[in-house]
Amino acid sequence: IDRKDFHRHAPDITKWIQQYFDQLEELPVKSQVAPGAIYKQIPDQMPQSGEPLESILQDMDRIILPGMTHWQHPNFHAYFPANSSVESVYAEMMTAAMGAQCMIWETSPAAAELEERMMEWLQRAMGIPKDWEGVIQDTASSATLVAILTAREKVTNFEANENGVPPNLRVYCSTQTHSSIEKAVKIAGIGRKNLVKIPVDEQMRMRPDALDAQIQQDMESGYLPCCVVTAVGTTGTVAVDPIPEISAICARHNVWHHIDAAYAGSALILPEYQWMIEGMEQADSFVFNPHKWLFTNFDCTAYYVKDADMLVRTFDILPEYLKTRTRGQVNDYRDWGIPLGRRFRALKLWFVMRSFGLKGMQERLRQHIVLNTQFAEWVEQSENFELLLPPFLNFTCFRFRPDGQTEEALNALNQALVERVNQRGKLFLTHTKIEDRYVLRMVIGQTYVEARHVEAAWAEIRSVAAELNLHAQ
Ligand code: PLP
């Protein structure tokens, strides 16, 4: 298609998107297709001659759509949301049109400088220390790897970069922290055996006393403690590790402290939740995902670091073809993370933050939190359901608990409940385990979710539970 003919098909695409949004609530939230069903429908070779866009769009509806799980459906309550917004979609379209590769300032000064500003806007709104610096990464997993690599270089005085990783480095996280930490220690050459999982208290938070004792014991045994990763909002139950105590322990032992707030970090734009990062001035780095609960399309991760020089020294590499006259005067973000190539991700943040405004974003998050409180009340008041933890933010952990069932039977019942709910397609839920109990996670975070959606979800959960209970008796 010639570029001057872009406008000819553009209305078909925007019409498709509008129809998608309009019919979204009628679609099954979780895709219902069997493994291999989509693959089988795609020819085994590319076409020899180009096909008309009309037939591609037909196949979009016929083949692709049934194989999609609809993350932007208001009843997407699984995992954590990857929410989006109309503003963010517009920006993504324009980003794609410009197709810039923003590896260094010179390859698009606007991308580098808008990124710097967007990171400052978020930093100020969220109460992140003023002297820290931010950069956009693709995912929290990459940002955590970046933090661990920087910590590794700091503790080895940049020897690991030059000569390889010594075998005695140690990284610490709680038993509840995300699998990305395990992945990062594998990639960083530190090794899984050197990742120590610290026990948690009854609220699933890392125990500072246990961390302190472990670091002490490791130092006495000849290990070199390198990094502690805490969570502000664990993936299983949104637990918040005690940041002030752990920051103080890390500062005392001179160990890098990285805070993973991938999900719950968005709530820091609400002053009433800034307590979650109290004490972080003593930490070293922090990550959160606007692509989870801040209306910005995947992928967009905000990574903040106290000592940006340490970060740049870890990743800096300068081949002849990347030498520029502006080096040193501007931020060349290729030096702030792993890939050389970078998308222009700041643009969608700019669209979202300008169009919503801080107040608009705060209102939307508070609305989700209110909906969650209401949902948790229904669970609590119901005879056959129980809360496993107090509701927190927009997250409730609960299970179906009819009388007279063993723990084993309850696990089976709750597993069957999730499977049947997801199969019926009106909502999508996932589970976690708390002390061997199979429990359900309800997350109310899709941008456009309203009270009626949550009411419908609760009615559906109860109806499936009643059906299962009849069969169980
Ligand atoms: N950290 C936490 C606490 C998470 O909940 C998640 C994802 O749910 C991640 C990290 C990974 O995020 P990403 O997909 O951006 O790598």
| pLDDT tens per residue, range 442-451 | 999 999 999 9
User: Is the separation of the CB atoms in 398 and 388 below 8 Å?
Assistant: yes
> What is the average pLDDT across 374-395?
96
Best residue for ligand 1 mutational test, from 79, 180, 187 (most atoms within 8 Å of Cβ): 180
User: Is the separation of the CB atoms in 180 and 140 below 8 Å?
Assistant: yes
Judge if the beta carbon of residue 140 lies within 6 A of ligand 1: yes
| Cα gap 95→99, rounded to integer Å | 6
Read off the tokens for 19. 């129809």
Is the per-residue pLDDT at 33 higher than 70?
A: yes
Please tell me the predicted confidence (pLDDT) of residue 324.
85
Ligand 1 atom nearest residue 299's Cα: 15
CA atoms within 13 A on the CB side of 10: 11
Please tell me the predicted confidence (pLDDT) of residue 473.
56
More confident residue, 435 or 233: 233
Which residues of the chain form CATH 3.40.640.10? 100-343
| Cα gap 278→212, rounded to integer Å | 19
Task: Take atom 5 of ligand 1 and give the residue whose Cα is closest.
Answer: 235
Judge if the beta carbon of residue 88 lies within 6 A of ligand 1: no
Judge if the beta carbon of residue 301 lies within 6 A of ligand 1: yes
Q: Using one digit for the tens of pLDDT, what is the confidence trace for 87-140?
A: 999 999 999 999 999 999 999 999 999 999 999 999 999 999 999 999 999 999
Is the per-residue pLDDT at 322 higher than 90?
A: no
| Cα gap 453→456, rounded to integer Å | 5
Ligand 1 atom nearest residue 301's Cα: 15
CA atoms within 13 A on the CB side of 390: 6
Q: Using one digit for the tens of pLDDT, what is the confidence trace for 232-288?
A: 999 989 999 999 999 999 999 999 999 999 999 999 999 999 999 999 999 999 999
Is the per-residue pLDDT at 35 higher than 70?
A: yes
Residue 470 Cα to chain centre, angstroms: 38
| Range with lowest mean pLDDT among 50-54, 273-277, 302-306, 314-318 | 314-318
Ligand 1 atom nearest residue 291's Cα: 15
Closest by CA position to 399, among listed 440, 437, 430, 434: 440
Strand order in the sheet with 285-288: 133-137, 301-305, 285-288, 256-260, 224-231, 169-174, 195-198
Q: How confident is residue 469, by pLDDT bands cut at 50, 70 and 90?
A: confident
Ligand 1 atom nearest residue 138's Cα: 15
Read off the tokens for 208. 């500072």
Please tell me the predicted confidence (pLDDT) of residue 472.
61
Judge if the beta carbon of residue 178 lies within 6 A of ligand 1: yes
Q: How confident is residue 321, by pLDDT bands cut at 50, 70 and 90?
A: confident
Q: Mean pLDDT over all residues of the chain?
A: 95
Judge if the beta carbon of residue 432 lies within 6 A of ligand 1: no
Which residues of the chain form CATH 3.90.1150.10? 352-472
Closest by CA position to 65, among listed 85, 37, 90, 93: 37
Judge if the beta carbon of residue 133 lies within 6 A of ligand 1: no
Please tell me the predicted confidence (pLDDT) of residue 318.
80
Record the pTM. Answer: 0.95
Residue 318 Cα to chain centre, angstroms: 31
Judge if the beta carbon of residue 262 lies within 6 A of ligand 1: yes
- The 3 state secondary structure assigned to 15-81 is HHHHHHHHHHHHCCCCCCCCCCHHHHHCCCCCCCCCCCHHHHHHHHHHHHHHHCCCCCCCCECCCCC
CA of 141 to the centre of ligand 1 (A): 6
Judge if the beta carbon of residue 230 lies within 6 A of ligand 1: no
Ligand 1 atom nearest residue 289's Cα: 15
- The 3 state secondary structure assigned to the chain is CCHHHHHHHHHHHHHHHHHHHHHHHHCCCCCCCCCCHHHHHCCCCCCCCCCCHHHHHHHHHHHHHHHCCCCCCCCECCCCCCCCCHHHHHHHHHHHHHCCCCCCHHHCHHHHHHHHHHHHHHHHHHCCCCCCEEEEECCHHHHHHHHHHHHHHHHCCCHHHHHCCCCCEEEEEECCCCHHHHHHHHHCCCCHHHEEEECECCCCCECHHHHHHHHHHHHHCCCEEEEEEEEECCCCCCCECCHHHHHHHHHHHCCEEEEECCCHHHHHHCHHHHHHHCCHHHCCEEEECHHHHCCCCCCCEEEEECCHHHHHHHHCCCCHHHCCCCECCECCHHHHCCCCCCCCCHHHHHHHHHHHHHHHHHHHHHHHHHHHHHHHHHHHHCCCEEECCCCECCEEEEEECCCCCCHHHHHHHHHHHHHHHHHHCCCECEEEEECCEEEEEEECCCCCCCHHHHHHHHHHHHHHHHHHHHHHC
Judge if the beta carbon of residue 235 lies within 6 A of ligand 1: yes
Q: Which of the listed CATH numbers 3.40.1180.10, 1.10.10.60, 3.60.20.10, 3.40.640.10 matches domain 100-343? A: 3.40.640.10
Judge if the beta carbon of residue 141 lies within 6 A of ligand 1: yes
Q: Which CATH architecture has domain 352-472?
A: Alpha-Beta Complex (3.90)
Please tell me the predicted confidence (pLDDT) of residue 470.
73
Read off the tokens for 171. 């990284």
